[in-house]
Amino acid sequence: MPLPWLREPLLRALRLERSHALLLHAPQDAGQFDLALTLAQAWLCEHPGQAPCGRCSACRLVHQRSHPDLRIVVPEALRVRFEWLAEDDPLLRASAKPSREIKIEQVRDAIEWTQRSASSTRGRSLVIHPAEALNAHSASALLKTLEEPPGNLRIVMAGSDPQRLLPTLRSRVQRLRVEMPDAKQAKAWLSEQGVAVQTDRALAVCGGSPLATMMLLEAGFDDAALAALPSAVARGDAQGLLGKPVPLVVDLLQRVAHDAMARAAGAGARYFDDASLPAGATLSALAQWQRELLRVAAHDEHPWHAALLVEALVTNGARCWPRTATPARRGGDHSLHSAR
């Protein structure tokens, strides 16, 4: 079964029977990839016209990712994250960083696959995620297939920002917007997953996404830890962030920076409680810190010295609050280059 807030969008998508290419777009982490996979499964299920039964042989093959009529195209970096690599996968031996883009070779390979005949009468399903990972070349390579899909091929793309897609690609797909669940639905789902703590702050920090909230909680960030985070950063105290997954930490610091920026500019905070954000941050220092965080976020690899990296980021963050940070912390040179 799809996630509860995706059931209605799934039925809506299934009603678009004549559409061969769909773009499911939703705010980050709303579950659009899950929905795309469930939709593809429903298209292949032996009991068509409804949510996938989950029991037929087609559904079972989809679950094992071995259905011959299903192709899932994601960037290498996601295959690594999902642990979708066979033991002999070249990615495991490659020294290069796994790509975060969908490469043109992947698209060409998928197009070649679409031209073979389907193994069942249910046709074939191609899932592409995230659509924004298609670069100009791979998106262009896909245009003809989107316009004239061979045989009974159906394509579903998941994404979060249609404006970042090539206009020619955007115009060839039918768009279906998926909303984040409301707070009540989100909390109901979290409690079904066994979450028994307050999650208001975590949900706000995650832009309302229960999936991202779950990951945050699993990493040990409850509401109390999150409420204490901005002032800890302002003091230059990285203790609560050490040992946590670096991409998650960088993401959290970006949100602290965003809200501090909003507050310094006289606007309201978006992720954290206004009251938990220390006053007195300087805009120019925040802008510099944000650029640094963006740079680090763009590098996906796990640094060998994760603790040093996190400490340097927090120390540099503390410089945005010159009256809050302790002089000892502000003294030394905490250049990121020396930390990595």
> What single letter denotes the amino acid at residue 308?
L
At closest approach, how far in Å is the CB of 60 from Zn ion?
8
Q: Which residue number, 51 or 320, has a Cβ lying nearer to Zn ion?
A: 51
- Cα torsion 157, 163, 164, 165 to 10°: value is 50
**Which amino acid appears at position 334 of this protein?**
H
Residue from 59, 139, 165, 253 in contact with Zn ion (CB under 5 A): 59
Q: Does 70 bind Zn ion (CB under 5 A)?
A: no
Asked whether position 188 contacts Zn ion by CB under 5 A, the answer is: no
- Within 10 A of 150 (CB to CB), how many other CB atoms are there? 14
Minimum distance of Zn ion from residue 8's CB (angstroms): 20
Nearest-approach distance from CB 59 to Zn ion, in angstroms = 3
Q: What is 274-320 written as a DSSP string? A: GGGS-S---HHHHHHHHHHHHHHHH--SPPTTHHHHHHHHHHHHHTT
Residue 62 in the binding site for Zn ion (CB under 5 A):
no
> With contacts defined by CB under 5 A, how many residues of the chain interact with Zn ion?
5
Nearer to Zn ion, 120 or 326 (CB): 120
Q: Which two tokens stand for residue 32?
A: 């659009």
Give the one residue of 3, 14, 53, 77 binding Zn ion; rule: CB under 5 A: 53
Q: Which residue do the tokens 């309302």 mark?
A: 208
State the minimum distance, in angstroms, from the CB of residue 6 to Zn ion: 17
The distance of closest approach from Cβ of residue 57 to Zn ion in the complex, given in angstroms and rounded to an integer, is: 8
Any contact of residue 14 with Zn ion (CB under 5 A)? Answer: no
Cβ proximity to Zn ion: between 25 and 67 the closer is 67
Q: 134 - beta bridge partners?
A: 102
226 contact partners, CB below 8 Å, separation of at least 6: 201, 202, 205, 216, 252, 272
Which of the stretches 38-46, 157-165, 168-176, 192-200 binds Zn ion when contact is defined by CB under 5 A?
38-46
Residue pair 233/256 in contact (Cβ under 8 Å)? The answer is yes
- Cβ distance to Zn ion smaller for residue 43 or 272: 43
Query: Which residues are CB-contacts of 168 (< 8 A; sequence separation ≥ 6)?
Result: 139, 140, 143
Which is closer to Zn ion, CB of 56 or CB of 339?
56
Candidates 10, 26, 45, 153; binder of Zn ion (CB under 5 A) is 45
Is residue 37 close enough to count as binding Zn ion by CB under 5 A? Answer: no
| Alpha carbons 277 and 284: distance in angstroms, whole number | 17
| Contact of 292 with 313, CB cutoff 8 Å | yes
Q: How far is CA 113 from CA 37, 123, 149, 153, in A?
A: 18, 12, 12, 10
CB of 154 vs Zn ion, minimal distance in Å = 16
Torsional class of 123: left (φ above 0), alpha (ψ -120 to 50), beta (otherwise): left
Q: Which positions from 245 to 274 touch Zn ion by CB under 5 A, shown as an x/- string?
A: ------------------------------
Nearer to Zn ion, 49 or 331 (CB): 49
Q: Which is nearer to Zn ion, 49 or 332 (CB)?
A: 49
Q: How far is the CB of 54 from Zn ion (least distance, A)?
A: 6
Options 11-19, 25-33, 50-58, 187-195: segment touching Zn ion (CB under 5 A): 50-58
CA–CA gap between residue 222 and residue 229 (Å, rounded): 11
Shortest distance in whole angstroms from residue 71 CB to Zn ion: 18
> Shortest approach of Zn ion to residue 52 CB, angstroms?
5
Instruction: Specify the stretch interacting with Zn ion by CB under 5 A; choose among 19-27, 56-64, 146-154, 205-213.
Output: 56-64
For residues 338 and 278, is the Cβ–Cβ distance under 8 A? no
Note whether 308 binds Zn ion by CB under 5 A. no
Contact 277, 262 (CB under 8 A): no
Binding region for Zn ion (CB under 5 A): 45, 52-53, 56, 59
